Structure 1
Amino acid sequence: MTAGTTLRTVHDVAGLAAVADHLSDVWRTPRTAPPYPAEVLHSLVHAGGAVHALYAGQRLAGAAVAVLGADRSTYSLVAAAERGLGPVLKQAQRDWARALGARTMRWTFDPLVARNARFNLVKLGAVGTEYLVDFYGPMSDGVNDGDESDRLTVTWDLTAAGAPDEAEPHGPVLRRAPDHGPLVRRAGRHLWCRVPDDVVALRAADPALALRWRHAVRDVFTEAFLEGFRATGMSRDGWYTLTRTEATA
């Protein structure tokens, strides 16, 4: 736990309303139309889910929502925290899930957001196991508006340390990106795919270019996943590592 921060599970109506407001601020929606309304959060908690809230002093600095699934699995519906506090929230979700006997946790994220990919795949050691095309359909929040809602499902083994399977991009350039730089390299059982530096800023500045990136990366991932590749790492300069398992190599 970072000095000056506290973490608790939230059950009360006022606390859940504060979490709903926090999520509205993160996703840039009016507080009258949060991505997870307080009444929905209350229903999830009542059904056995968990809402974790992270405070820096008295200020809400992060929140996460998870529910219990079947076959010793759990699902993280949403998680958002200020810089440097994400690991605290995910560890809290992991501890909660493990206490219930869960062995895995799954969630989705936008595969074009490189910083989230690095957090999920490298810091946590989760693996990208499924590519979902336009998963939510059109979205009208202030972060995703104007784009298609492709998502990458990651699976986190709660029982293992999970070191990422990474290698430096090498091999021939197979495709070019919308910015005319390299998009795909491949060598052996590894394939690398580059994403933009900051897709959220790019969406705001040039939505058409952001959409071209979306389609280019989508094509790479959908083809690679059909071949048995999985997303196993993300470099600091925006290159995914996709690894083909020995069983399908």
Structure 2
Amino acid sequence: MRTARNRRDAASMRIPASVPRTAPATVPASAQVSATETAALAASRAGVRIQPAEDLATLRLVSRFLADVWQTPASRSPLPPDVLRAFVHAGGAVHYARDEDGITAASALIFGPPASSAVYSTIAATRTSGHGVGFALKQAQRAWALDRGATTMVWTFDPLVSRNAHFNLGKLGATAVEYTVDFYGRIDDGVNTDDETDRLTAVWPLAEPPPGPRADFGSAELDPRPAPDGEPFTARDETGHWCRVPLDIVALRRQDQPLAAEWRAAVRDALLPVFDAGFTATGFSRSGWYHLTRKDPS
């Protein structure tokens, strides 16, 4: 069975309040050119070709690929072919990456409310991690969106999946702006394994330059309350709050579902009040800690 680096993103059309509701006049041409070049370079480095899927035959292959990643029957794919077809027909995009072994990554996005100038990434998945394919796929989405006047991309991800948190916040430079409890309700697939589906909403400014180095967990004051594994869990320093999550929650769900459920409850209890107090997740350390800082008052 193939291993997967994956992100399941919400199909809701609600755009967070932090995303500007007034559309900018135009996307700078320099930003469009830069995004296109970045996407092409990322695909070349990953050794894949990324292109839009538009015909029904290709969309069926993409749907089967998504079912494989989420370990469901093809008849219960996270996004069936007819839904993908509707996305494309409505002006959205389905991208897929291919190498000599076939489809290795896929994504889909749709436009949000017109005044938001935002696109909503409904799903993104790669067959394996650590080869740059996920980054290349996201850059292809970014270039496509900027070319059509969008300046922000929004999606959701599971706060317990550390590899996705590091990718979204640390590598792409997105910010998690809100925490929602049990976003989808229970999902019985090979990734979520009937766990509650708490989600963070990520917001990625597409026309801004890549982020510089972000703060890493160092000498923060540790809270005495331990994590479910008995190790340090939360901390504070002058920059804000820190919260640690397990390194591989997907494997933990298979091995010890009660412990995985403890992690869900603990992280929820730790993060919800911090988001409610006006903080956002602006970084994620390689050691598995979220960094939450105050929203920019401007």
- CA deviation after TM superposition for structure 1 residue 161, in Å: 2.1
The answer to whether the 8 Å contact 2:105/2:125 transfers is yes
Q: Decide which of 115, 119, 123 is 2:167's aligned counterpart.
A: 119
SS in 1 for 2:188: coil
Distance, in Å, in 1 between the alignment partners of 2:279 and 2:210 is 17
The answer to whether the aligner puts 1:220 opposite 2:270 as a matched pair is yes
The answer to whether the aligner puts 1:49 opposite 2:98 as a matched pair is no
Distance, in Å, in 2 between the alignment partners of 1:29 and 1:215 is 26
Distance, in Å, in 2 between the alignment partners of 1:12 and 1:243 is 44
AA at the equivalent of 2:228: P
The answer to whether the 8 Å contact 2:216/2:284 transfers is no
Normalised by the length of structure 1, the TM-score is 0.95
Aligned-residue identity in percent: 48
Distance, in Å, in 2 between the alignment partners of 1:21 and 1:171 is 45
Distance, in Å, in 1 between the alignment partners of 2:196 and 2:123 is 19
What is the match of residue 138 of structure 1? 186
Q: Decide which of 13, 38, 44 is 1:2's aligned counterpart.
A: 44
AA at the equivalent of 1:49: G
The answer to whether the aligner puts 1:40 opposite 2:83 as a matched pair is yes
What is the match of residue 21 of structure 1? 64
SS in 2 for 1:20: helix
Distance, in Å, in 1 between the alignment partners of 2:92 and 2:215 is 34
SS in 2 for 1:176: coil
What is the match of residue 253 of structure 2? 203
The answer to whether the 8 Å contact 1:10/1:16 transfers is yes
What is the match of residue 171 of structure 1? 220
- CA deviation after TM superposition for structure 1 residue 162, in Å: 4.3
Q: 1:169 to 1:150 in 2, by over 3 A?
A: farther
What is the match of residue 23 of structure 2? none
What is the match of residue 104 of structure 1? 152
Distance, in Å, in 2 between the alignment partners of 1:189 and 1:53 is 39
Distance, in Å, in 2 between the alignment partners of 1:90 and 1:161 is 15
Give aligned pairs, total. Answer: 248
Distance, in Å, in 2 between the alignment partners of 1:246 and 1:115 is 26
AA at the equivalent of 2:120: Y
What is the match of residue 80 of structure 1? 125
- CA deviation after TM superposition for structure 1 residue 247, in Å: 3.5
- CA deviation after TM superposition for structure 1 residue 227, in Å: 1.2
Q: Decide which of 218, 223, 236 is 1:186's aligned counterpart.
A: 236
Distance, in Å, in 1 between the alignment partners of 2:60 and 2:267 is 37
Distance, in Å, in 2 between the alignment partners of 1:127 and 1:86 is 18
- CA deviation after TM superposition for structure 1 residue 57, in Å: 2.4
AA at the equivalent of 1:48: G
Is the deviation greater in 99-108 or in 76-85?
Answer: 76-85
Distance, in Å, in 2 between the alignment partners of 1:191 and 1:153 is 18
Q: Unmatched 5+ residue regions in structure 2?
A: 1-42
Distance, in Å, in 2 between the alignment partners of 1:246 and 1:57 is 46
Q: Unmatched 5+ residue regions in structure 1?
A: none
Query: Greater strand percent: which structure?
Result: 1
Distance, in Å, in 1 between the alignment partners of 2:140 and 2:216 is 30
Q: Which runs of 4+ in 1 moved over 3 A?
A: 245-248
What is the match of residue 235 of structure 1? 285
